[in-house]
Amino acid sequence: MLSPGATSLLLRNESSLKLIDIARRSSARVKLSACCCVVHPTDSSQFIAVLAKSRRLYLLNWASLKLLSPAGGIKLVGDKLPQGLSTRPGTWCWSRSGASHVAQCVGSLEDKTPYFAAFDASKLKPETTEIDLQVWFVPPHLNLRVRAVVGIRKSALYFLDTMGWVCSVELGNLRGLAYYTRHFFIPPTWQMGNQKTVITMVSDTAVALSRGERLVVMDGFLEFEERVVVGEGKGLAEQAWEDRRRPGAG
């Protein structure tokens, strides 16, 4: 992982973290096992190490790799996961544009219990001892699975589902989530079959998708919104269509 400004490179193995200062050609190491590291979205001088199995976080300094948190780390309190947080690489995401949430998205076809989890990193300080973790378990009737994470914008996580819709969930109220939002549809022919889909948010209004050897930029489509009610599993447009088809409907 590169530091903000690309001045340092962070390497991770099963037992430790190693920070390489590219300009000075020096390095530092700290013992921290089985962790996933993410950029601190609101403090560019720090990064966050997430220990999924023990539900703990650590704040570290980019310049020196110094541990800033208490010795026992910062506890993730709040919603529980039956099997614990996933340790699979690539499930954590964050924003470099000032959005404050760090999120984990576990929702591929092979995941038995798909969920979205998030905490507000703006509340993390060196003296913090615990932080609230909110989790939304995807109801089975929604049949919602994630093909790729697009990015975080403001307080929402954007993702591409397996049906081809670019969707979003609000991270600030996952615990009481009433709906998720569909924005626009990407035709299956634009995707790469069983290969990994490369898609990312490049601005507040634009999404870039790799289509073979071409780069497709879709601008403005995130403004379109259709809410899918979590309790019913139907979008407002779908519900309106069914209402019109009922006997006696005008």
pLDDT per residue over 10-48, tens digit each? 998 888 899 998 877 778 888 887 788 888 988 989 999
Among 55, 57, 59, smallest CA distance to 67 is for 59
CA 37, CA 97: separation in Å to the nearest integer? 18
**CATH fold for domain 1-137:** Methylamine Dehydrogenase; Chain H (2.130.10)
CA 51, CA 116: separation in Å to the nearest integer? 17
- Summarised one tens digit per residue, pLDDT across range 144-193 is 999 889 999 888 999 999 899 999 999 998 988 999 999 999 887 776 65
CA 207, CA 42: separation in Å to the nearest integer? 22
Do residues 158 and 201 make contact, with C-beta atoms less than 8 angstroms apart? yes
* Surface-to-core class of residue 145, CB atoms within 10 Å of its CB (0-12 exposed, 13-18 middle, 19+ buried): middle
Q: Provide the mean pLDDT of the chain.
A: 84
Q: List the domain boundaries for the chain.
A: 1-137, 142-245
Choice between 233 and 52, residue whose per-residue pLDDT is larger: 52
5-14, 40-49, 115-124, 229-238, range with the lowest pLDDT: 229-238
CA 96, CA 153: separation in Å to the nearest integer? 9
32: Cβ–Cβ under 8 A, 6 or more apart, which residues? 15, 16, 17, 49, 51, 58
Do residues 70 and 12 make contact, with C-beta atoms less than 8 angstroms apart? no
The predicted structure's pLDDT at residue 199: 86
Do residues 117 and 55 make contact, with C-beta atoms less than 8 angstroms apart? no
Q: Which amino acid is at 112?
A: K
For residue 226, the cross-strand partners are 182
Do residues 51 and 24 make contact, with C-beta atoms less than 8 angstroms apart? no
The predicted structure's pLDDT at residue 2: 87
- The first and second tokens of residue 231, run together, are 């309790």
The predicted structure's pLDDT at residue 166: 94
What pTM was estimated for this model as a whole? 0.83
